[in-house]
Amino acid sequence: GRPDAGALRAVEADVPPAVSTPRPSSATSSSLPPRPRLVLRVGFAGSQRLVSDAELAAKPAATEAEKKAREQIVAERKRLEQALPVVLATMGRILAAIIPGVSVEHGNAQPVGRYFERKCPLLRLVTGLCQGADAIAGRAIEAEGILPKPDAGAGSQPGTHSLETELAAVIPFDVETYRRSRPAEFRGEFDRQLQRCAWVLTLDGHYEKPDPDTPSAKSRRARAYRAQSGFLLRHSDVLLAAANPDDVGKAGGTLETVREALGFDLPVVFIHTGKAGDNVYLIGPEDDLHSVLAGPAPAAAAWQTTLRRWVTQLTADPDSRLNPGGATHDEAREHGEKLLAEYFDEPASPPRDDAGRRQPT
């Protein structure tokens, strides 16, 4: 993520109060900084049309067109429910493999992993606590968790998790106002997911929806939802989006959020809910959104390989080897690891010679 204030606060919240990694005997707890926990922050944006069967049943379809629309909603929701666990598991497994001593099916521990706290990594999902795709994603992250392989050995006992997950949220209004703005049939699930959130960022948007609606009220709501989208991106390392790009977009909606993410230099994992079969696209900041979505989706093996590289790049660079075979990259990586060792393991920083003069680094 970028070094904005929101991201820095999120990072600070993840720094543990004590150091769990062994240090050199000359180091003291007061002279060395604590190692941060390895955390991947996944922002989520998705279509609020993809509501549950119970929520659909609360408002019976009256016309043939409404019945077809409901069938489409059910089909798209099922595609999302199938793709989401695969995407989250792919992220989680490579995240778990970064920390030394954690043995999982994919990947090897990265050398830079020793500078993180010796604690299983955290996969955080940040949503807008909306009905539809947000609710599906909130339930999916509950079920995610990676167990170590049976032969992982000491430090990875059977029954312990190699990955922890948590839910967080950014909402545009105060909690009670936002809750009242959601459909009545969704409020029970809203309350349940709200209680599960590790933290909730509430913005100071103004909610007003008169009947009949007015241009000024629409404008205020649009500004609030766009602010919600913007703050969610500032608490994310990667955006996971789920929608049918053929649907008409709204202010602060999924496609608008995707465009903002790419402009913010965040990579995007896009689940095309309107497409059966392979429907997961990976969109980098350098890509053209519409050109990528107009083409065929890559096979699962291809996008999973790219996604593992993305997660490694975001969390364990300079060990991601973005330029294989490039001598300059190897030199930069070696230099970066020396600086990490100096920062975390040298009680006297900056280093000085016997005469007390600072040694250049």
Contact 38, 163 (CB under 8 A): no
Higher per-residue confidence, 29 vs 140: 140
- The residue whose two tokens read 């709200």 is 194
* Least-confidence region, from 15-29, 97-111, 275-289, 333-347: 15-29
Residue 262 has pLDDT above 70, yes or no: yes
Per cent of the chain over pLDDT 90 is: 55
Q: Exposure pattern of 106-141 as b/e (b: 16+ CB <10 Å)? A: eeebbebbbbbbbebbbbbbbbbbbbbbbbbbbbbb
Q: What is the pLDDT of residue 148?
A: 52
Binned at pLDDT 50, 70 and 90, residue 339 comes out as confident
Q: What is the pLDDT of residue 83?
A: 96
Residue 322 has pLDDT above 50, yes or no: no
Q: What is the distance in angstroms between the CA of the first residue and the CA of the last residue of the chain?
A: 26
pTM for the full predicted model: 0.81
Q: Average pLDDT, stretch 83-93?
A: 94
Binned at pLDDT 50, 70 and 90, residue 349 comes out as low
Lookup: tokens for 4: 């904005």
SS3 for the chain, per residue? CCCCHHHHHHHHHHCCCCCCCCCCCCCCCCCCCCCCCCEEEEEEEECCCCCCHHHHHCCCCCCHHHHHHHHHHHHHHHHHHHHHHHHHHHHHHHHHHHCCCCCCCCCCCCHHHHHCCCCCCEEEEEECCCCCHHHHHHHHHHHCCCCCCCCCCCCCCCCCCCCEEEEEEEECCCHHHHHHHCCHHHHHHHHHHHHHEEEEEECCCCCCCCCCCCHHHHHHHHHHHHHHHHHHHHCCCEEEEEECCCCCCCCCCHHHHHHHHHHCCCCEEEEECCCCCCCEEEECCCCCHHHHHHCCCCCHHHHHHHHHHHHHHHHHCCCCCCCCCCHHHHHHHHHHHHHHHHHHHCCCCCCECCCCCECCC
Higher per-residue confidence, 323 vs 53: 53
Residue 157 has pLDDT above 50, yes or no: no
Q: What is the pLDDT of residue 220?
A: 94
CA distance 169 to 44: 10
Higher per-residue confidence, 66 vs 151: 66
**Cβ atoms within 10 A of the Cβ of 145, count?**
17
Contact 270, 283 (CB under 8 A): yes
Query: 302-320 pLDDT, tens per residue?
Result: 999 999 989 988 988 755 4
Contact 44, 124 (CB under 8 A): no
- Tell me what the pLDDT averaged over the chain comes to: 82
Residue 110 has pLDDT above 70, yes or no: no
